[in-house]
Amino acid sequence: MNTHAALDTAHVIIDATEYAAIRAVLDTRDLSGTASVIADYETALADWFGTNHAVACSSGTAALHLALLAVNVTSGDEVIVAATAPVMTAMPILAVGATPVFADTATPTSFALDLDDIAAKVTERTRAVIAVPMWGYPADGPDLADACHTWGIPLIEDAAQAHGTIVSGRYAGTRATIGTFSTHNRKLICTGEGGFCLTTNPAIARRLSEMRNIGKRPGESFGATFGLNLKLNAIAAALGLTQLSRLATRLEHRRATLNAVTEHLAGVRGLRPFPIRADGEPNGYAAVFTTPGQAEPVALRLAAAGITSDPMRYGYRPLYHTSALARHAPPTPCRNAEQLAATLLTVPCHEGVDPPI
Ligand SMILES: Cc1ncc(COP(=O)(O)O)c(C=O)c1O
């Protein structure tokens, strides 16, 4: 593998298609979040992911905020969230005045939630569960959606990093009540900043649309219901459309790179490829490894060789160690999540990586 240049975790592909798409939107003189290109982008997203509705918004964090509002999470409620999620997943829970309740993963080498731990933490105040397929690795299967259905609790899947990840024949984010995505610079669909929600439920789609546009309902004025301005702007939507049109090619390339990187590094100083569930396929957002001991010394060696590992970049630890969330720490630590975070390493496998593929 060629590691001659510093390897960041972002790789943005822009060609003449993006310039033309942006110029076309500029020519319309409607750059707002209600321009017609927004609806075009949403239709294309729903088609690509094979679902009924997509609602574009200003970020992945905004998508989670909207999702929580759309399933009526409010002050005093509880939201069960993966302890292995990043801080962006939990902030929207605080924004709606709810309490995050951290759930453990099923094992120290899986991002899937431990259903028994969730069951033990469900109370009459639980209003949502948020699952997160980190680094685009297939995580929770249909069993989580089925369990949430049985409990009558909406499932939100934060697929911010998991565009195109497959679990049990479906794309991540399409089996949940609402799937949320980011289109930040590092993501496989890149609009700089941006996000979207997917749902099969028309009533939820309507609420998401209203709440991202200051509570405006069709034919009524702003404030018909509660809302904020969380719209995506037209230029970003035009970018999103072009980026979406090359998502299939990017997935192919990244999966090939992920396989090559995994083959290249497996066994090096005890690095073990992160297990991939048999019915799933990662999207190549990054290659994940586990280390026999602490991952940090290995990550430091990688950094010295010019390779940035995501867990180093943002000090990956179970979420309840973050200052803003520490007061919600569970009485007993999430043991699997603790071990997972301490022994995890990621290696970029975007199009800027140059392995022998
Ligand atoms: C898992 C996860 N959730 C949520 C977010 C938030 O997305 P955004 O940065 O677009 O707000 C991110 C961003 O990196 C993420 O990785």
**pLDDT single digits (tens) 71-93:** 999 999 999 999 999 999 999 99
Determine the Cα–Cα distance for residues 159 and 179; give it in Å rounded to an integer: 6
Residue 4 pLDDT greater than 50, yes or no: no
Mean pLDDT of 241-266: 94
Nearest in space to 186 (alpha carbons), one of 254, 124, 114: 254
Determine the Cα–Cα distance for residues 123 and 269; give it in Å rounded to an integer: 44
What is the Å distance from ligand 1's center to 28 Cα?
A: 30
* Cβ(60) – ligand 1 distance below 6 Å: yes
* Cβ(132) – ligand 1 distance below 6 Å: yes
Pocket-testing residue among 91, 135, 161, ligand 1, by greatest number of atoms within 8 A of Cβ: 161
Residues carrying CATH 3.40.640.10, the chain = 16-245
* Cβ(280) – ligand 1 distance below 6 Å: no
Query: What pLDDT is attached to residue 6?
Result: 60
What is the Å distance from ligand 1's center to 93 Cα?
A: 14
Q: Select 248-348's CATH number: 3.40.1440.10, 3.40.720.10, 3.90.1150.10, 3.30.70.380.
A: 3.90.1150.10
Nearest in space to 109 (alpha carbons), one of 354, 313, 325, 339: 339
Residues carrying CATH 3.90.1150.10, the chain = 248-348
How many CA atoms within 13 Å lie on the side-chain side of 276?
A: 21
Ramachandran category for residue 303: left, alpha or beta (phi over 0 → left; psi -120 to 50 → alpha): alpha
Q: What tokens appear for 200 in the block?
A: 């099969």
Helix (H) or strand (E) holding 19: helix 16-28
Q: Which residue has the tokens 């292995």?
A: 84
Dihedral over alpha carbons 50, 55, 58, 59 (to 10 degrees):
-40
pLDDT in tens, 180-211: 999 999 999 999 999 999 999 999 999 999 99
What is the Å distance from ligand 1's center to 220 Cα?
A: 32
Pocket-testing residue among 57, 58, 61, 130, ligand 1, by greatest number of atoms within 8 A of Cβ: 61
Q: What angle do CA 309, 312, 315 make, to 5 degrees?
A: 145
pLDDT in tens, 163-188: 999 999 999 999 999 999 999 999 99
Contact 102, 130 (CB under 8 A): no
- How many CB atoms are located within 10 Å of the residue 27 CB? 8
In angstroms, the Cα distances linking 270 to 267, 273, 289, 300 are 5, 10, 10, 15
Determine the Cα–Cα distance for residues 41 and 179; give it in Å rounded to an integer: 16
Lowest average pLDDT, out of 155-159, 212-216, 268-272, 319-323, goes to 268-272
Residues whose CB is less than 8 angstroms from the CB of residue 121 and which lie 6 or more positions away in sequence, other chains included: 80, 101, 103, 330
Query: What pLDDT is attached to residue 259?
Result: 95
pLDDT in tens, 105-129: 999 999 999 999 999 999 999 999 9
* Cβ(195) – ligand 1 distance below 6 Å: yes
Residues whose CB is less than 8 angstroms from the CB of residue 15 and which lie 6 or more positions away in sequence, other chains included: none
What is the Å distance from ligand 1's center to 269 Cα?
A: 31
* Cβ(133) – ligand 1 distance below 6 Å: no
Residue 291 pLDDT greater than 90, yes or no: yes
Query: Which of ligand 1's atoms lies nearest the C-alpha of 182?
Result: 10
How many CA atoms within 13 Å lie on the side-chain side of 330?
A: 22
**Structure-model confidence comparison of residues 98 and 266, the more confident one:** 98
Residue 355 pLDDT greater than 70, yes or no: no
* Cβ(58) – ligand 1 distance below 6 Å: no
Mean pLDDT of 32-55: 98
Mean pLDDT of 263-270: 82
What is the Å distance from ligand 1's center to 356 Cα?
A: 31
Residue 8 pLDDT greater than 80, yes or no: no
In angstroms, the Cα distances linking 300 to 94, 210, 310, 311 are 33, 46, 12, 11
Determine the Cα–Cα distance for residues 334 and 117; give it in Å rounded to an integer: 9
Residue 55 pLDDT greater than 80, yes or no: yes
Helix (H) or strand (E) holding 335: helix 335-342
Q: Torsions phi, psi of 156, nearest 5?
A: -110, 125
Query: 187 an active-site residue?
Result: yes
Structural class in CATH, domain 16-245: alpha beta
Task: Please tell me the residue having the least CA distance from ligand 1 atom 2.
Answer: 160
Q: Which residue has the tokens 């209600």?
A: 34
pLDDT over 70 percentage in the chain: 97
Query: Which of ligand 1's atoms lies nearest the C-alpha of 132?
Result: 1
* Cβ(157) – ligand 1 distance below 6 Å: no
What is the Å distance from ligand 1's center to 88 Cα?
A: 6
In angstroms, the Cα distances linking 62 to 12, 94, 96, 233, 344 are 22, 13, 12, 13, 28
* Cβ(61) – ligand 1 distance below 6 Å: yes
Query: Which of ligand 1's atoms lies nearest the C-alpha of 59?
Result: 10
